[in-house]
Structure 1
């Protein structure tokens, strides 16, 4: 049985009553309801709610993991009470979550988040509808999810900001950094500092911790051979072959656990700036990464999609095509950039249109909103420099997307320097600066 994602079998009842059982047949009957795509349950006279029950067994619950139960229901008359429970499916029938809801005659969607107090492979979901007179209840779109966006993105407990906070609790900036940065979910970056011998275990530890919390981790692969083309963030693996070994180990660390993966920021947008001899190789390396990561069953993979003021949409789409975007979920826009969300989303939609013209429909995109709260224009209306510019601000926290984006995400880690430049001339790329963090929090 699955332990991540949607744990309910046939929750929309498109396969009739498959996977569902009913209790005492004298008290409750089940029937698929094709016109509504739901399950109609007819209850006869019953003294107690639990006398007329239906549900599903074989659900795996994990202690401490966050879950969300959701469903849509209505009744043949108003004011019908229904008890909904998730818990142990055998003696002593311990509930993990139990709630009494009241149904009306029109469809109502109920959402019940909870944290499981137990670990068991014998979990059970039940709907209890016993009434003192006959009633028909119709249920549809039943979902019990964990480690998805619905349960929330994972907050990195060992981000650079969190490490700084633990060492500097007495600093006057500590409360604002804790509130505005440390408590917010964002990406954890893995790079050449995670050695080939260690990266599989490093990734496994991180995504396992997120899964145990019932949340979705955002992780970034950032070890590309010839990374940043000798720029402020230069580095990466020392050869193409070593990169293949590294990304293979990175993917193995994800295993069968959920993860949202951003693949090698800037790798495609910079590809044509590389020496001629390395350009085709760059596309092949990104393509290899896309394929091995997409082979992980619960990984959502997004390739580098540049930003709105870098490449024309058609050029970005052609690069994504060469790099195997068809294997991935989509692409990431504006990583470590400052373009406002509306500009980035418009660009993302244009790239999607170009990919469709190239015969690759259905691509999604995500937008980095970690530092785009003021957009990327300075007071003179000029586009700001990419490296620690003044006057920027935190953007929308990691969440469901808007403007065509699938998700808005904090991919760049706010407070981490872009390099020895801008308003952080003494802070090397990737190091945390409380000064840079404060500027982003307060917007100056």
Structure 2
């Protein structure tokens, strides 16, 4: 639910906006794997009961059938051994595919008996190459660790497994970096919902939507609808990094999501599933620069959560999420949910600040305000500056300007949900009264079946897009 109070007078642009100083450029993390790209050979890699060879710059493993245990057929890197330090943060990432769908395992473990593991993860490969990423914490001290891909013990007979671009990094000592200074402008998503509609529907309307909307930087949202989160993030971030542009992502998968509004309800199945999901999110970004808006509505929704235990879990998950990005994505700036002017003042600012503190806002780089809402930029600047006076340490903030060009609507029912007569706001930029103005909500994506749209939440509606362009 995104609360709007009608009849509020536009606030004057407030002074005292918090703008952080530049953070140091992050140094490279320590790579522990040798020859993970297989450019010319498979040197340093071995197979147990699995012949390996070089195939077009990939490691190719011929996996036999009729094995009993996962480790009866494996490939890995054992020599040279590498160290694992207790408490250090690591990211294992790689590309993999197979000749038939299989669920296999990867481990980081001691390279001799008792083969104790500090990472043991299953992952599902298909005939299409996918990226996988796992963040983990070192569970013991050793100089004799190995990486394995355990491919045996499966039904379905023999198959071929391909592996490429393997990386295992130790993040210890990697300083937090400034993603803005590491990039040159914001990334334009060539596969956004508006762009996909434009490409599929050529014509005058598509040209209008492309020129005014689809060709502009905007965030991409990630939730449980992305089947392989690591690969989805890779597909979005890799071209942004290659172009030197800053991608904006939204993590939107917390259990009990949209507890007040209901149109976007859902989320991970439980606390443990969410923690695994959000840690994978951070690990998939890794050391690349990014902006992440963490769980829009998650702070505002606290008032609609029914039990104290569920509220405790909500705060626990948000704390975990913000810490995960600090641990596994050192060049990412995170922004915690600060609701919007109407909702925030309805909650009362001291109570909103208390919710943010319980959610671990000190771990976030800043606050995200007006996400998916319509309040004018000047109103929102004044609101967040007011909120900052209630926090122990004022936070920089971003404002979602995707649909705030005309301010809030005046619909009699659910005025936050696809109100008529709204307009695009300022395009992505630094400054503007905040740290950044961003299109966080994808303009033209519906809020749900309500008011100006008959499309479900998250689906692109060209009629909404034209309204935002032409109002």
Same fold (TM over 0.5): yes
Any conservation in 2 of the 1:393–1:441 contact (CA below 8 Å)?
A: yes
Return the alpha-carbon distance in structure 2 between the equivalents of residues 392 and 149 of structure 1.
34
* Cα 1:272/1:423, change in 2 over 3 Å: same
Give matches, 1:157-306, under 5 Å. 157-170=190-203, 172-195=204-227, 198-229=228-259, 231-276=262-307, 277-295=309-327, 296-306=329-339
Return the alpha-carbon distance in structure 2 between the equivalents of residues 278 and 150 of structure 1.
39
SS at match of 1:385: coil
Superposition deviation, residue 7 in structure 1: 6.9
* Cα 1:377/1:427, change in 2 over 3 Å: closer
* Cα 1:400/1:268, change in 2 over 3 Å: same
* Cα 1:316/1:301, change in 2 over 3 Å: same
Higher relative contact order (CA 8 A, sep 6+): 2
Any conservation in 1 of the 2:292–2:335 contact (CA below 8 Å)?
A: yes
Structure 2: gaps spanning 5 or more residues? 1-22, 28-177
**Aligned position for 1:151:** 184
* Cα 1:287/1:7, change in 2 over 3 Å: closer
- Segment drifting more, 227-236 vs 249-258: 227-236
**Aligned position for 1:402:** 432
Return the alpha-carbon distance in structure 2 between the equivalents of residues 7 and 290 of structure 1.
20
Any conservation in 1 of the 2:419–2:452 contact (CA below 8 Å)?
A: yes
Any conservation in 1 of the 2:183–2:289 contact (CA below 8 Å)?
A: no
Return the alpha-carbon distance in structure 2 between the equivalents of residues 228 and 401 of structure 1.
29
Superposition deviation, residue 341 in structure 1: 0.5
Any conservation in 2 of the 1:185–1:398 contact (CA below 8 Å)?
A: yes
Q: Quick one: which of 361, 364, 371 aligns to 1:328?
A: 364
Give the aligned length.
Answer: 293
* Cα 1:421/1:324, change in 2 over 3 Å: same
Superposition deviation, residue 241 in structure 1: 1.1
Q: Does 1:388 align with 2:424?
A: no
**Aligned position for 1:98:** none
* Cα 1:275/1:169, change in 2 over 3 Å: same
Structure 1: gaps spanning 5 or more residues? 10-144
Return the alpha-carbon distance in structure 2 between the equivalents of residues 8 and 274 of structure 1.
39
For residues 145-178 of structure 1, the C-alpha deviation after alignment (integer angstroms, 9 at most, x for no partner) is: 98648611101110010100111012x3111101
Any conservation in 2 of the 1:6–1:146 contact (CA below 8 Å)?
A: no
**Aligned position for 1:115:** none
Which structure has the greater CA radius of gyration?
A: 1
The normalised TM-score by structure 1 is 0.63
Superposition deviation, residue 207 in structure 1: 1.6
Any conservation in 2 of the 1:200–1:251 contact (CA below 8 Å)?
A: no
For residues 44-93 of structure 1, the C-alpha deviation after alignment (integer angstroms, 9 at most, x for no partner) is: xxxxxxxxxxxxxxxxxxxxxxxxxxxxxxxxxxxxxxxxxxxxxxxxxx
SS at match of 2:375: coil
Superposition deviation, residue 377 in structure 1: 4.5
Return the alpha-carbon distance in structure 1 between the equivalents of residues 197 and 403 of structure 2.
19
SS at match of 1:310: helix
Return the alpha-carbon distance in structure 2 between the equivalents of residues 148 and 264 of structure 1.
25
For residues 69-123 of structure 1, the C-alpha deviation after alignment (integer angstroms, 9 at most, x for no partner) is: xxxxxxxxxxxxxxxxxxxxxxxxxxxxxxxxxxxxxxxxxxxxxxxxxxxxxxx
The alignment yields a C-alpha RMSD, in angstroms, of 2.2
For residues 12-46 of structure 1, the C-alpha deviation after alignment (integer angstroms, 9 at most, x for no partner) is: xxxxxxxxxxxxxxxxxxxxxxxxxxxxxxxxxxx
Return the alpha-carbon distance in structure 1 between the equivalents of residues 402 and 323 of structure 2.
27
Give matches, 1:403-418, under 5 Å. 403=433, 405-418=434-447
Return the alpha-carbon distance in structure 1 between the equivalents of residues 414 and 396 of structure 2.
27
* Cα 1:435/1:148, change in 2 over 3 Å: farther
